[in-house]
Amino acid sequence: MADDSKLYIIREEILSDFLKKTLKAKELLESGKAKTINEAVKKVGISRSVFYKYRDYIFPFTKFSKGKIITLSMVLEHTMGVLSSILDVVASSGGNIVTINQSMPSMGVASVTISIDTQYMEISLENFLGQLASQNGVRKVEILGE
């Protein structure tokens, strides 16, 4: 990638089929479910030339967030134990809290911003965010930056 290249975060839904399949082939290779590029591209249904053309230009977001500090914005219900359950998820995932900022609760909810060091996280960022969002009292979870 050239030094003057720009990076973008886009939602998977708008990716073309061949880009999604390139990502899937890369995942198969990394996980060991495919031993060779030939095997991976056959499993996902793309040509080797498509794979080689795009493999160095598309990556899951987790490739860039692992080992970095991410900042999350959350809206939490103002009930006992909600923030504690969030902290438990961070700790059990191997994340390390860097900062926590919480606003005064208003109308039964509070905004919380948490910065987390992801260097030792044992699960993917997608799974981590899913676990946070599924906690009782969590109304919204979003990545602000890294």
Q: What is the CATH number of the domain that holds 72?
A: 3.30.70.260
Q: Mean pLDDT of all residues in the chain?
A: 88
Kindly state whether residue 4 falls inside one of the protein's structural domains.
Answer: no
Q: How many domains does the chain have?
A: 2
Kindly state whether residue 47 falls inside one of the protein's structural domains.
Answer: yes
Q: Domain limits at 72?
A: 65-145
Kindly state whether residue 3 falls inside one of the protein's structural domains.
Answer: no
Residues 50 and 115 in one domain: no
Query: Would you state the pLDDT for residue 123?
Result: 85
pLDDT digits (tens, 9 = 90+) for 84-104: 999 999 999 999 999 999 999
CA–CA separation, 142 and 28 (whole Å)? 28
Residues 54 and 70 in one domain: no
Residues 52 and 101 in one domain: no
Query: Would you state the pLDDT for residue 136?
Result: 96
pLDDT digits (tens, 9 = 90+) for 19-64: 999 999 998 988 899 999 999 999 999 999 999 999 888 877 655 5
Kindly state whether residue 126 falls inside one of the protein's structural domains.
Answer: yes
Residues 82 and 119 in one domain: yes
pTM higher than 0.85, yes or no?
no
Kindly state whether residue 6 falls inside one of the protein's structural domains.
Answer: no
Residues 52 and 79 in one domain: no
Residues 78 and 118 in one domain: yes
Query: Would you state the pLDDT for residue 38?
Result: 94
